[in-house]
Chains A and B, each alone.
Chain A
C-alpha cells in the first residue's frame, strides 16, 4: 500500500502521562496540532484535547484510519505491536513508544508488517537523540576507546512518574517491570554503543508480579563483560561507564546530567564526533529529546529515509530483554531472611 502524502494529519493513541507531559509539548514546540486524540477514557482525552487544540477525540482509532497520515502510539505496552501492525497495514506512519512489542515473536510480526508497508515506523527511544549519546556511539564506532574491556550501567530513580493508569504495573499489560520499562532504554543504548550480547545472567525481585529491581551480568559478543543495575525504588548513579584500552567515558542518562560526558583522560572529549565536540555539549532537557524524536520521524517520512531508531534495532532490544527474563533468578534482597519466604 502506498504511503500517504505529507503535511500529516496526526493522531495520538493513548492519553497517559507520556502523551500529556512529553508528546503534546513536543508537538506544540514543532507548531503541530494533533487532529485526533484517542483514549478509552474519553474525559481524559477531552481534557488533553482542550489544552492542545486537537479537534477530535475518540475511544477507538479505527473509524478514523482513512483520515490519518501519521500516528503516535502511546498505549499500554501490550497494545503497541497489534496497533502498530494495524496502522502500518493501512499505510499510516507510526512512532511507537518503547517497547515496540512485549515479546520477540510479536516484534517479528511488527517488523514484517513494516517491511510490507511503505509507511515509516520509528520507535521512541528518546535517549538516542542526545548529542552525548550520539557522540559516544560515533566515538566507539571509530575506535576512540580502543578495544572495550568492560562496562557498568546504572539506571534507577525513585519512581515518580505520574501514571494515569495502572497498566505499567500489571503483568498482563506491561510485559514486565523495570527491565522492560526503563531497562529497555538502558539495553537499547548498550546494543547501539557496544553491539551484540553473547551471554546474560539476570536477577530480579519479582514474586509473581513485575520486578522493581533487576541486576544483569552480561558478556558481549566482543568478549567484554559488564553489569547493568536497574531500580524503580532507588536513586542509582544514572550513568553508563564504558572502559576501553585507551580510556573511560561516562555518560549521564537522567535529569540534570543528561547530555553530559566525562572522560579519563579528559582529552578524549576534545574530539568531534556526530558533529559535536565531547566537551562542548549544551544542556538538553528531556523535552528537547522528544522534540528531536518527533522531528526525526517527520523528516524520515518526508524524505523517505530511515528514522534514527528503526524497528529492527528496537527488536534486538526486545529479544535481549526476553533472554534476560528467560534466565532470571530471584534476587533476594539483603534484609529478607530465608524463613520469610516460607509457604509460597
Chain B
C-alpha cells in the first residue's frame, strides 16, 4: 500500500479511523476521507488527511471523492438508513469504474450469515435474508458491490469481519462498558454461546492485504482473530477490566418480557430503559422548574441506572455457537491474526482506562 492514493469512506468511524492511521503512519499513503458529519471527525482530523465534506448518496460528491484515487476502502455504513447504504455502494462502484480504480475493498460483516448456524462456518456457509435489518442490509450491499464489480470489470474484494473490538470501538467496546456499568441483561444461552472476536488492528491488516492480492478479486473473506471464547467470557473480560459484577443472565421468556416492557416506543418504554432521563419529559420539566435544580438532581440520582436489553438479533447472536474459519483469508491473502484475545484485550484495557470509560 506504500504511497498509494486512497479514498476511505467511514473514516470517522472505528475501523475506518484505525485504517487511516495505519495507512498514513505505516504506509505513507495519500488519504482522502469522505466526511458527512464533522462532529465525529476529531480523531480523524489528527492525521494528515484530505477531508472532503459530503454525502455518500450524492453522485457528484462521490465522483469528486473517487477522482484521482487508485484504491478505495468502503467502511461507511448508515445504521439508520438502509437505502442510503444501497445508493451509496451503487454510486461508489460507478465512480470507481469511471475513474479506473484498481481495487475497491468493501467492509461487510459476519452478519450476512445470520442467524449463525452452530458449528464451523466459512465463506461457503449460506448467506440469505434473515429478517434482521442490519444483516439483510449488509447482505444486500455486499451482493450489490460484487455484482456491479463483476459486471463492470471493477476489481472488488469484500472483507467480513466478525466481532470487532479495540480502542474507539463502539458496539463491542465502548457500549459494552457503558452497559455493564449500568444494568444489563443477557440471554442465559450466552453462557455457552460462542463469540469470534477480532482486534481492530487485525481487521485493518486484512483490509490492506485485500487491497493488494490479485487472487482476492471478486472474493469474500471472513476475518476473525482465529479463536473463540464464550460470550460469558467476552463480557467477563470487560467486567474484570472495569471492576464490575456480571450482567444478569435470564431465560428467553424473561428476556422477552423485559424486551416487551422496554422495547415500546411509548413514554413508559423509554422510562423503563432510561429512568434517569425522566427530566427530558416536558411535563416533568415544569415540575422541576418549581422544585429547583438541587432537588431535581437528588431525585434523578436516586433513580435506577439505564437498563439494556438485547434486541432479538443480538440475543440470537449471543446464543449462537458458530466457529469462524479463516482458512481462505490465510491461504489467499496470507492473513494471520497478530493479536490473540488476551493481548487484544490488554490493549483495549489501556484504551478504556485512558478514555475514562
Contact = CB atoms under 8 A, between A and B. Distances in A.
A161 interface: yes
Nearest to B1: A343
Contacts of B39: 159-163
A62 B166 CA distance: 51
A21 to B, nearest CB: 13
Interface stretch (B234-242, B306-314, B347-355): B347-355
Interface in B13-55: 21-22, 24-28, 35, 38-49, 51, 53
Q: Is the interface of B mostly helix, strand, loop or mixed?
A: helix
B167 interface: yes
B119 interface: no
B42 A344 contact: no
A161 B39 CA distance: 6
Contacts of B38: 163, 165-166, 168-169
A2 interface: no
Nearest to B344: A335
Q: Which of B45, B297, B353, B355 has the most CB of A within 10 A?
A: B45
Interface in B183-232: 201
Interface in A152-197: 159-163, 165-166, 168-170, 177-178
Given A166-B35, A334-B351, A205 B293 contact: no
Contacts of A209: 44-49
Q: Which of A163, A170, A209, A335 has the most CB of B within 10 A?
A: A335
B25 A342 contact: yes
A240 B136 CA distance: 49
Q: Which of B22, B46, B350 has the most CB of A within 10 A?
A: B46
Q: Which of A169, A234, A334 has the most CB of B within 10 A?
A: A169
Contacts of A212: 42-43, 45-46
Interface in A127-169: 159-163, 165-166, 168-169
A236 B44 CA distance: 20
Given A207-B24, A208-B48, A343 B2 contact: yes
Interface in B237-262: none
A209 B25 CA distance: 13
Interface string A85-115: 0000000000000000000000000000000
A341 interface: yes
Contact of A177 (B40, B45, B167): B45
A234 B45 CA distance: 15
Contacts of B41: 166, 169
A206 interface: yes
Given A159-B39, A208-B48, A344 B351 contact: no
A329 B2 CA distance: 26
Interface string B315-352: 00000000000000000000000000000000110110
A237 B122 CA distance: 46
Contacts of A163: 38-39
A190 B282 CA distance: 38
A340 interface: yes
A334 B39 CA distance: 24
A7 interface: no
B356 interface: yes
Contact of B46 (A165, A207, A341): A207
A234 B356 contact: yes
Contacts of A207: 21, 24-25, 46-48
Contacts of B353: 334
Nearest to B26: A342
Contacts of A169: 38, 41-42, 44-45, 51
A335 B350 contact: yes
10 closest Cβ contacts across the A-B interface? A208-B48, A169-B45, A232-B42, A334-B350, A335-B347, A212-B42, A342-B26, A163-B38, A166-B38, A159-B42
Given A208-B24, A344-B26, 17 more contacts: A159-B39, A169-B42, A169-B44, A170-B45, A177-B45, A177-B46, A207-B47, A208-B47, A212-B42, A233-B42, A233-B355, A234-B354, A334-B351, A335-B166, A340-B22, A340-B26, A341-B25
Interface of A: 159-163, 165-166, 168-170, 177-178, 205-212, 232-236, 256, 283, 333-335, 340-344
20 contacts: A166-B53, A168-B38, A177-B42, A177-B45, A205-B46, A207-B24, A207-B48, A209-B46, A209-B47, A212-B42, A233-B168, A233-B355, A334-B353, A335-B166, A335-B167, A335-B351, A340-B22, A340-B26, A341-B26, A343-B25
